[in-house]
């Protein structure tokens, strides 16, 4: 029986909200009635056959021999692909997320199409079986005989970097994958000028993204014409080059189509197994379907583990003078996202505070774990936990309230974080915009929501029933650089004779409401009802490039591209009106569903129809506008392009059982500066969803490796947050100043609440028991051990 004296609560919207901004998103009816076609719902193509991957059961083992003859002899088996049966394909082609990786990092250092020498993690891809039916494929995969030589494993940065450690990529001669550094000011001088130096070390373990829909499935048809690939991804364009490289075909002949996704969080990328399915489709000339399972998903990708070690210089009255950070990052078996993630950790490890002197030095090592890559708020959940836990240690040492310490160190609106900085030792002028949010206000809103004055000092110990508990409260800020990511976004708006508009684009809807955002922007721009707008599914065949729905850039980048496509369509309508009804295009006003000049007024559909009806225009049934958006290209000066700051704040109250270490959230409040919510309900559920994910990452989620294996790669032993873990008092608040670079003043906001929630929970536990738990997740056993340190 749960007893809580914190009443159920949900904050009222911070402004009057129109029905259309709060009602069901356009995609939800189909989803909740089972009509939406996710990847697994797409019907088989004629002649489709089924694939099952062959994966390493060991985390580090040399492949002595592979014998697939028993599998191939099984009736119904159409073929087995592995290192000895590659049809002339180069097994060394890299697959997955590898931007910034070059072959100087080592021939074997990135994830290959097929593993040839040895398995480097539990789940490394060795090959694939294709059969007439799935059961036969699965059975045949078990009949592939592999002779292994088991090798010693390393499962942490420290083990990987220890002298004499087993090498994961022998050709590199080291397990060090990557180094990065970033600094401004003079850290040593800043530390020397401080009254106190306070240090801390905070570890964040590996987790899996765990979307509801498994990661790594596909339907593929490889014909003489090219490759038709359906798969659930956030980046439809990025695999084309890798596919082209493996198969030696023109990237233009690769067509990727993306159905709606059941979540991604960075996990939905091209995999070696998908490439394998493609190779088998090429070999046997039939479409191949690969189903992803939950257990296999855990072996696709993960979040980087990282140790954040820092020394902060502070004055006695609580002003930060310097912050010196070292990061030890564990990228898993392959390079995959090492450069991107390490950089993101570096540029976020100063948190959200005005620090005159800052330095971070990062080292990233290979280990025998599932290769890590992007994860919601890439790199930031690890560093934000570190810096925000350190802030609370400072507050306690200086006897200043955690809220006050933060208020007096946040950069105020208009302030720049630095004038210039060094990236890997090279000096650049700083290229970030001034602070464009009110971090102080966000902190105050979060604290107020849980009824807290911001002073440390938990309640308890006290007895509730037979339990002895203590309660505590904590607060944290997160600061993401907004709209990160390369490439230009394109969208096309097509108006048909019935007055409907279709938006073509390549921004997959990961579940967060991207299609609804697109239709909202189009409807508002054109002044037509949202029901008149149809949103197409991403299809690289349209050649409308977009780097992908990631890094919370979709609203700003794709939203602006859609806005511009609609503006272009409006100009096209004005041109059309002038051709049909006379006058100059400039004389025609296009707004609210009609093209008008003086007292003349024609609905949009009338213009399209007039073209279609003209004998000489036979066949013209639509008018189109193209839109493009990106921020200005810039050299790599640290942030890789940044057009706004995207902050989040969180405040939490926890109850810790002092005898078992079990921790329960009593209250949680998150605040996101969204610029302008394009759909209030969708924006708020993004903030809530991130916070709930943060609860899971704080208290439960952890991938455990032992001996040769990943131990808990299934939903029964990998504990996700449940409904009952969500506190009844749970607020998600939005700040809307209409000042973002996105359509109608919007900003990116989907990754703000997750990184703030983890340290808010950590700091609340610290407040309750007086000892910090310094590694995520805060399991009962770790919390109990901390309680006992306090004595």
Of 65, 586, 599, 717, which one interacts with another protein (CB under 8 A)? 717
Using omega within 30 degrees of 0 as the cis cutoff, is the peptide bond preceding 461 cis?
A: yes
For position 791 contacting another protein by CB under 8 A, the verdict is: no
As beta bridge partners, residue 361 has: 181, 326
Ordered DSSP codes for 115-143: --SEE-STT-EEEEEEESSHHHHHHHHHT
Nearest to another protein of 422, 467 (CB atom): 467
CA separation for the pair 742, 749 (Å, rounded): 11
For position 3 contacting another protein by CB under 8 A, the verdict is: yes
Phi-psi group of 377: left, alpha or beta (phi > 0 → left; psi -120 to 50 → alpha; rest → beta): left
Nearest to another protein of 486, 711 (CB atom): 711
Binding mask 123-152 for another protein (x = CB under 8 A): -----------xx--x--------------
Any idea how long the chain is?
791
Nearest to another protein of 248, 716 (CB atom): 716
CA separation for the pair 499, 523 (Å, rounded): 12
- Helix or strand run (H / E) with residue 378: none
Of 461, 719, 726, 728, which one interacts with another protein (CB under 8 A)? 719
Count of residues touching another protein (by CB under 8 A): 24
Residue 558 has phi, psi (to 5 degrees) of -70, -35
Nearest to another protein of 142, 149 (CB atom): 142
Cα torsion 691, 233, 34, 499 to 10°: value is 100
Nearest to another protein of 622, 660 (CB atom): 660
For position 700 contacting another protein by CB under 8 A, the verdict is: yes
As beta bridge partners, residue 589 has: 596
Nearest to another protein of 40, 431 (CB atom): 40
CA separation for the pair 781, 773 (Å, rounded): 10
CA separation for the pair 562, 557 (Å, rounded): 9
Nearest to another protein of 84, 714 (CB atom): 714
For position 465 contacting another protein by CB under 8 A, the verdict is: yes
Nearest to another protein of 6, 83 (CB atom): 6
Binding mask 637-666 for another protein (x = CB under 8 A): ----------------------xx-x----
CA separation for the pair 284, 548 (Å, rounded): 32
Q: Give just the sign of the alpha carbon dihedral 479, 481, 483, 485.
A: negative
Structure tokens at 324: 């010196």
Binding mask 77-116 for another protein (x = CB under 8 A): ----------------------------------------
Q: Is 595 exposed, middle or buried (0-12, 13-18, 19+ CB in 10 A)?
A: buried
Report in angstroms how near the CB of residue 214 gets to another protein at its nearest: 14
Q: Which stretch binds another protein (CB under 8 A): 28-36, 279-287, 418-426, 460-468?
A: 460-468
Of 16, 173, 716, 791, which one interacts with another protein (CB under 8 A)? 716
For position 596 contacting another protein by CB under 8 A, the verdict is: no
Report in angstroms how near the CB of residue 660 gets to another protein at its nearest: 5
Report in angstroms how near the CB of residue 293 gets to another protein at its nearest: 9
For position 341 contacting another protein by CB under 8 A, the verdict is: no
Structure tokens at 134: 């799935």
Q: Give just the sign of the alpha carbon dihedral 257, 262, 265, 269.
A: negative
CA separation for the pair 374, 376 (Å, rounded): 7
For position 294 contacting another protein by CB under 8 A, the verdict is: no
Edge-to-edge strands, sheet with 594-597: 589-591, 594-597, 600-603
Report in angstroms how near the CB of residue 365 gets to another protein at its nearest: 25
Nearest to another protein of 3, 19 (CB atom): 3
Range 745-784, binding another protein (CB under 8 A): 779-781, 784
Binding-site ranges for another protein (CB under 8 A): 1-3, 134-135, 138, 464-467, 659-660, 662, 700, 704, 711-712, 716-717, 719, 779-781, 784
């Amino acid at each position: 029986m749960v007893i809580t004296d914190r009443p159920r609560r949900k904050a009222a919207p911070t402004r009057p909200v129109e029905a259309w901004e709060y009602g069901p998103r356009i995609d939800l009816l189909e989803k909740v009635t089972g009509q939406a076609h996710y990847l697994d719902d797409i019907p088989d193509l004629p002649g489709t056959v089924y694939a099952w991957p062959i994966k390493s059961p060991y985390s580090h083992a040399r492949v002595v021999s592979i014998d697939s003859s028993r599998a191939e002899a099984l009736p119904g088996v159409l073929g087995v692909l592995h290192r000895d049966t590659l049809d002339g394909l180069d097994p060394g082609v890299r697959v997955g997320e590898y931007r910034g990786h070059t072959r100087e990092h080592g021939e074997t250092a990135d994830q290959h199409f097929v593993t040839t020498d040895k398995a480097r993690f539990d789940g490394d891809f060795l090959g694939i079986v294709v059969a007439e039916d799935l059961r036969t494929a699965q059975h045949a995969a078990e009949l592939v005989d592999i002779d292994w030589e088991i090798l010693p494993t390393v499962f942490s940065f420290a083990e990987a970097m220890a002298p004499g450690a087993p090498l994961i990529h022998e050709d590199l001669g080291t397990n060090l994958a990557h180094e990065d550094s970033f600094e401004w000011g003079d850290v040593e001088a800043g530390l020397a000028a401080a009254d106190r130096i306070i240090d801390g070390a905070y570890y964040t373990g590996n987790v899996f993204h765990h979307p509801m829909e498994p990661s790594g499935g596909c339907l593929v048809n490889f014909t003489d014409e090219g490759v038709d690939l359906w798969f659930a991804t956030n980046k439809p364009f990025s695999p084309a080059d890798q596919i082209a490289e493996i198969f030696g075909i023109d990237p233009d002949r690769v067509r990727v189509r993306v159905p709606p996704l059941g979540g991604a969080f960075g996990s939905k990328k091209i995999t070696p197994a998908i490439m394998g399915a493609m190779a088998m489709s090429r070999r046997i000339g039939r479409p191949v379907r690969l189903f992803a399972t939950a257990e296999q998903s855990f072996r696709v990708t993960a979040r980087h583990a990282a140790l954040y070690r820092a020394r902060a210089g502070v004055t006695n009255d609580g002003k930060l003078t310097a912050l010196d950070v070292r990061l030890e990052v564990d990228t898993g078996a392959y390079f995959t996202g090492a450069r991107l993630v390490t950089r993101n950790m570096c540029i976020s490890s100063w948190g959200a505070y005005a620090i005159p002197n800052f330095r971070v030095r990062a080292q990233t090592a290979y280990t025998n774990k599932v290769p890590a890559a992007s994860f919601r708020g890439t790199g930031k959940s690890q560093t934000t936990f570190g810096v925000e836990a350190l802030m609370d240690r400072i507050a306690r040492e200086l006897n200043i309230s955690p809220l006050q310490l933060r208020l007096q160190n946040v950069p105020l609106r208009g302030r720049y974080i630095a004038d210039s900085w060094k990236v890997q030792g090279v000096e650049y002028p700083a290229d970030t915009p001034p602070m464009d949010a009110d971090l102080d206000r966000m902190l105050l809103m979060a604290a107020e929501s849980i009824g807290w004055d911001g002073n440390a000092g938990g309640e308890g110990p006290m007895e509730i029933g037979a339990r002895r508990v203590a309660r505590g409260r904590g607060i944290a800020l997160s600061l993401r650089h907004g709209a990160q990511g390369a490439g230009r976004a394109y969208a096309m708006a097509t108006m048909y004779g019935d007055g409907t508009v279709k938006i073509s684009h390549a921004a997959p809807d990961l579940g967060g409401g991207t299609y609804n955002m697109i239709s909202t922007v189009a409807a508002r721009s054109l002044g037509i009802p949202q029901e008149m707008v149809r949103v197409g599914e991403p299809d690289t065949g349209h050649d409308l490039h977009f780097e992908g729905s990631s890094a919370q850039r979709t609203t700003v980048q794709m939203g602006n591209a859609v806005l511009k496509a609609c503006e272009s369509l409006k100009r096209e309508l004005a041109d059309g009106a002038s051709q049909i009804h006379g006058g100059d295009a400039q004389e025609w006003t296009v707004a609210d569903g009609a093209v008008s000049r003086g007292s003349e007024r024609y609905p949009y559909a009338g213009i399209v129809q007039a073209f279609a009806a003209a004998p000489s225009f036979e066949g013209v049934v639509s008018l189109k506008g193209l839109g493009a958006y990106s921020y200005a290209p810039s050299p790599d000066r640290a942030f890789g392009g940044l057009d706004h700051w995207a902050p989040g704040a969180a405040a939490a109250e926890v109850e810790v059982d002092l005898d078992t270490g079990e921790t329960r959230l009593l209250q949680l409040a998150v605040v996101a500066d969204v610029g302008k919510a394009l759909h209030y309900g969708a924006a708020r559920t993004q903030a809530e969803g991130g916070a709930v994910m943060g609860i899971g990452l704080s208290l439960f989620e952890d991938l455990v490796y032992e001996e040769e294996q990943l131990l808990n790669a299934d939903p029964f032993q990998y504990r996700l947050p449940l409904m009952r873990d969500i506190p009844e008092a749970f607020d998600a608040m939005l700040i809307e100043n209409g000042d973002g670079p996105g359509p109608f003043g919007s900003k990116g906001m989907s990754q703000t609440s997750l990184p703030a929630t983890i340290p808010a929970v950590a700091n609340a536990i610290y407040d309750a028991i007086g000892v910090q738990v310094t590694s995520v997740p805060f399991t009962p056993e770790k919390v109990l051990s901390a309680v006992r340190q306090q004595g």
